[in-house]
Each structure stands twice: as C-alpha cells, then as structure tokens.
C-alpha cells in the first residue's frame, strides 16, 4: 500500500461512527415527528447516541490537532476514523460517560487518546491539543442551544426542544469539568507545558486520580450547589431555562415515569 493510500485509509470515517450518527438522526427524527410510541425512549436513544457522537468528536479533535502539531502516529492508531473502539481507554472514553449520563445527568469528561507529546515541539501546540477536546463540547453546546439564543423555537416540537436542552447541559458540564486545571483533565494539559519540570514531576503521580477527586468533591452538597449554579448560569445566558433542562432529563429517564409538572407544561 502506498503512503497516500495508507493515509487515506487511516482517515476514512469508521462504519461504527456512521452507524451511531445514523441512530442519532433516526431517533432525532422520531422525537421531532412524535413518531415513536414512547417519546421518552426516543429521547433517551437520541440523547445517548448524540452524546456518543460528541465523545467521538472530542477525541477526534485531540487527535487531529496532534496530527497537525507533529504526532503522525495518531493515524496508525485509528484515532482519525472517529471509531470509539479504537480509543486507548474505551471504558473511560465511552462506557463510563454514558453510564454517568444515565445515572446522574452529568457530562463526564471522556478518557483520552494516547498522544505522543514528544513529537510536538512548541508548548502552545501542546496546550492546543489538550484544549481541542473540550472546545468541541463548547461548539456542540452552541449548536444545541442555537434555537434558544437565536429565538428560533417557533415550530420546534416540545419534546425535541427539551431533549436539546438536556443534551446541551451535558455538553456544558463536560466542557467545564474538562477545563478544570486538575491533573488528568484537559485543563491541566493546557497549562502543563508552561509549568516547570519540577512541578510537573511532583504532580504526575496524582494524574490518574484527578477525575476521581473531582467527582468525590462534587458529592459535597455545597460544592455541588455552586457547580450547578454555574451550569445553570451558563445555560440561562444561552437562553435555556432550568425547567427545560429538568423536563428534558425527566423525559430522558423515562423508566422513572414522567413528572406531572412536565406533563402539564
């Protein structure tokens, strides 16, 4: 195989990703048209599949930025195909985030593709590789909330609007959590190249536990309250009301039965 053919093969979109995107499109259509017998199930499938699409794009953004920064190994690892099965930590990148969405309605940051940072020379490129993932979540949130902040909700079916509100909240939580300057998260990856070698070595042993520490801290009621106040502040600024997020999550967790307030609304 020639170099050009191999490069093309390494960047061909995976049928797995195409399948997930197709599920997102079909279930989104089902929510929009009220075609599904169970709107809650349709919303659940739409949000979960769209969430997986965003996780794939998050990891792809890391890999693509690394490729342009000098790490040509990402192609051979399959990271440019958008195939979630190719990621270094499929459990952390896909399974756990989906489980956290189902259980707690929070956008857990994905795992990580393995970037060979020694191939990337400039410090600002190191920072950009780390920032590319959560910036993808920011872009995804902007797209989901566009009908809200553009005042273009006329004609948008209520279940679809609520599903978008909940999906956007997940993207905002993922972006904010990812940008925290905590070892193991992308926010720390942004600042790490600018730290001294001594500081990096001291922090390195704590990196595997950074995400766990964040979630332990979020269990503290006062911290949890401040965190979600910040989330709702961002969503309010984007034109999404808290009740829309609440009822979107209520639809998503269809197995619990729908809240009478949301049904009445």
Residues with a catalytic annotation lie at: 59
Distance (Å, whole) CA 264 – CA 248? 14
Distance (Å, whole) CA 184 – CA 142? 25
Distance (Å, whole) CA 47 – CA 164? 8
Residue found by looking up tokens 């990812």 in the block: 178
Distance (Å, whole) CA 95 – CA 108? 10
Q: How far is CA 153 from the centre of its chain?
A: 24
Instruction: Indicate the burial class of 256 (C-beta count within 10 angstroms; 0-12, 13-18, 19 or more).
Output: exposed
């Amino acid at each position: 195989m020639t170099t050009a053919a191999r490069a093309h093969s390494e960047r061909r979109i995976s049928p797995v990703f195409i399948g997930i995107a197709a599920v997102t499109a079909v279930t989104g259509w089902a929510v929009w048209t009220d075609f599904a017998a169970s709107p809650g199930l349709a919303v659940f499938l739409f949000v979960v599949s769209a969430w997986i699409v965003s996780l794939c794009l998050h990891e792809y953004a890391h890999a693509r930025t690394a490729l342009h920064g000098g790490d040509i190994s990402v192609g051979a690892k399959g990271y440019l195909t958008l195939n979630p099965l190719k990621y270094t930590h499929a459990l952390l990148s896909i399974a756990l985030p989906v489980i956290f969405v189902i259980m707690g309605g929070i956008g857990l940051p994905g795992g990580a593709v393995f970037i060979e940072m020694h191939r990337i020379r400039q410090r600002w490129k190191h920072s950009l590789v780390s920032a590319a993932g959560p910036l993808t979540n920011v872009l995804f949130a902007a797209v989901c909330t566009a009908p809200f902040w553009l005042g273009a909700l006329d004609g948008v079916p209520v279940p679809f609007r609520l599903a978008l509100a909940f999906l956007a909240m997940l993207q905002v939580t993922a972006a904010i959590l990812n940008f925290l300057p905590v070892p193991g998260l992308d926010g720390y990856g942004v600042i790490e190249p600018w730290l001294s070698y001594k500081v990096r070595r001291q922090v390195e042993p704590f990196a595997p536990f950074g995400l766990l520490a964040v979630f332990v801290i979020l269990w503290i009621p006062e911290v949890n309250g401040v965190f979600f106040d910040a989330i709702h502040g961002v969503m309010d600024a984007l034109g999404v009301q808290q009740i829309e997020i609440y009822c979107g999550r209520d639809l998503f967790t269809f197995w619990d039965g729908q809240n009478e307030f949301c049904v009445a609304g």
